Amino acid sequence: MASKKIGVLIGGSGLIGGTIVNYYKTHHPETVDIRAPSSKKFSIREENDIRRYLADVKPDFVINAAMANLGSDAQLAFEVNYQGPIILARAANSLKIPYIHISSAATLPPGENLREDDTLPLSPDLSNYAKSKLMAEATLKLMAEKEGLDFSCVRLAIVYGAHDHKIQGFHRLLFSIADESMPVLFTKKNTLHSYTNARKLPHFIHHMLENRAEFHSRTYHFVDKNPVDLATLILTIKSYLRLNQPKEIYVPYWMANSGKNVLNILLRIFRRIGLKATLPPELMFLDSFYKPQTLSCERLKNSSFADPMPEESIFTRLPELVSYYLKRWSHENLISSYNANLAIEKPVEQTFINNPQKLIDDIHAKGIGPFNNMLER
């Protein structure tokens, strides 16, 4: 029997990384041993960590799904999103193994049907995130041309999927609607965006790793084939949640932006008097709510990759995701108000509040000794 391949994945506790680890563990446990060191043990900011770990493990491929939090300062964004990926790629090149890099549509301007080469020019006024992601893409391309690096870069748009612990991007939008903190629509009609289905991505990564000649040194947009109108998506979520808001009133950009500017001034004052306050993440991306950004998936379509779930889109996934996140946020007491008619299963909640002894008795009755069959499978 052929020995298992070893894959190293950075960012395994994140939305994308976690989905990839889960995929390998469920779909290819016999052929791939996927290792995902925690960021506490292995920091992409430390060259020594990277070199030592990869030299010890000697993997057959490396996938980088790490990123610094969106609001990170310039130093952290530079170290995690640019310098780290380049050191990883150098190490992968030394071991002569493929390096899979996850990038973002933040490297692209607004617009429709954007191709892989339509990147933003690198300029000082870009956000720390966009700038660092763009810099990484540029250096990786050069490393492939000049140093023979075997890499593939996958650009994601707005990602949807389970296990987003940090509640970013699309899940932040879902959260704002569920939390009833979006009274009206902060977008304009027909603002189309591309979306990425997190659970399809690992299938593509695996396919790329199995077909290096085709995918070597190339960047791919990995997005659903049909872009989605933001207002339609928000109103669909609202109807699933059976909420009365957001009302179908479109706030013009100038008005929303003035509100954001006023809030920025207030936050500056708060910070001056020692209060820790930052702009809510949903407002950091206000511009993109009003500007379309759709990515061409022509290159992906023309590749040998076959979509494993062609019928699946953000709309078909919505019921499952809404139910998953609502349950989770409600258990974590993150949602302050939600429609009480929407039955969220909390089987022990009332007993836990009113009669904890009953729960202790129930657990004791089930048994608290060691498991007899602990090692049976």
Ligand X SMILES: NC(=O)c1ccc[n+]([C@@H]2O[C@H](COP(=O)([O-])OP(=O)(O)OC[C@H]3O[C@@H](n4cnc5c(N)ncnc54)[C@H](OP(=O)(O)O)[C@@H]3O)[C@@H](O)[C@H]2O)c1
Q: Which stretch binds ligand X (CB under 6 A): 154-162, 261-269, 272-280, 325-333?
A: 154-162
Position 13 contacts ligand X (CB under 6 A): yes
Provide Rg for the chain, Cα atoms. Answer: 23
Nearer to ligand X, 130 or 335 (CB): 130
Between CA 131 and CA 289 the distance in angstroms is: 20
Minimum CB separation of residue 19 from ligand X in Å reads: 8
Between CA 33 and CA 337 the distance in angstroms is: 43
Position 45 contacts ligand X (CB under 6 A): yes
Counting Cα atoms < 13 Å in the Cβ hemisphere of 170 gives: 29
Nearer to ligand X, 201 or 251 (CB): 201
Task: Provide the b/e sequence for 42-77 (b: ≥16 CB within 10 Å).
Answer: bbbbebebbeebbeebebbbbbbbbbbebebeeeeb
Nearer to ligand X, 8 or 66 (CB): 66
Position 203 contacts ligand X (CB under 6 A): no
Minimum CB separation of residue 57 from ligand X in Å reads: 15
Position 139 contacts ligand X (CB under 6 A): no
Position 27 contacts ligand X (CB under 6 A): no
Q: Which stretch binds ligand X (CB under 6 A): 43-51, 141-149, 204-212, 325-333?
A: 43-51
Between CA 278 and CA 266 the distance in angstroms is: 10
Nearer to ligand X, 230 or 251 (CB): 230
Position 168 contacts ligand X (CB under 6 A): yes
Between CA 361 and CA 234 the distance in angstroms is: 45
- The total of other beta-carbon atoms located within 10 Å of residue 98's CB is 22
Task: Provide the b/e sequence for 122-160 (b: ≥16 CB within 10 Å).
Answer: eeeebebbbbbbbbbbebbbebbeeeebbbbbbbbbbbb
What is the maximum alpha-carbon separation in the chain?
69
Residue matched to tokens 């939305």: 15
Position 166 contacts ligand X (CB under 6 A): yes
Between CA 231 and CA 14 the distance in angstroms is: 28
**Taking phi first (over 0 means left), then psi (-120 to 50 degrees means alpha), and beta for anything else, what does residue 58 get?**
left
Give bridge partners of residue 8 from the DSSP assignment: 35, 62
Q: Which stretch binds ligand X (CB under 6 A): 87-95, 161-169, 181-189, 218-226?
A: 161-169
- Work out which of 9, 43, 178, 228 binds ligand X, going by CB under 6 A: 43
Position 358 contacts ligand X (CB under 6 A): no
Q: How far is CA 342 from CA 3, 172, 176, 182, in A?
A: 50, 20, 17, 19
Could you tell me how far CA 328 lies from the centroid of its own chain?
17
Position 39 contacts ligand X (CB under 6 A): yes
- Work out which of 9, 32, 44, 256 binds ligand X, going by CB under 6 A: 44
Position 281 contacts ligand X (CB under 6 A): no
Nearer to ligand X, 8 or 149 (CB): 8
Position 89 contacts ligand X (CB under 6 A): no
Q: Which stretch binds ligand X (CB under 6 A): 61-69, 137-145, 229-237, 250-258?
A: 61-69
- How far is the first Cα of the chain from the last one, in angstroms, to the nearest whole number? 23
Position 159 contacts ligand X (CB under 6 A): yes
Nearer to ligand X, 15 or 97 (CB): 15
Between CA 9 and CA 98 the distance in angstroms is: 12
Position 65 contacts ligand X (CB under 6 A): yes
Q: Find the binding residues for ligand X in span 92-121 (CB under 6 A).
A: 102, 104
Q: How far is CA 163 from CA 127, 155, 160, 171, 198, in A?
A: 26, 20, 10, 10, 10
Position 80 contacts ligand X (CB under 6 A): yes
- Work out which of 97, 108, 158, 233 binds ligand X, going by CB under 6 A: 158
Q: Which stretch binds ligand X (CB under 6 A): 40-48, 206-214, 243-251, 323-331?
A: 40-48
How many residues bind ligand X, per CB under 6 A? 27
Interface residue list for ligand X (CB under 6 A): 10-17, 38-39, 43-45, 65-68, 80, 102, 104, 133, 156, 158-159, 166, 168-169
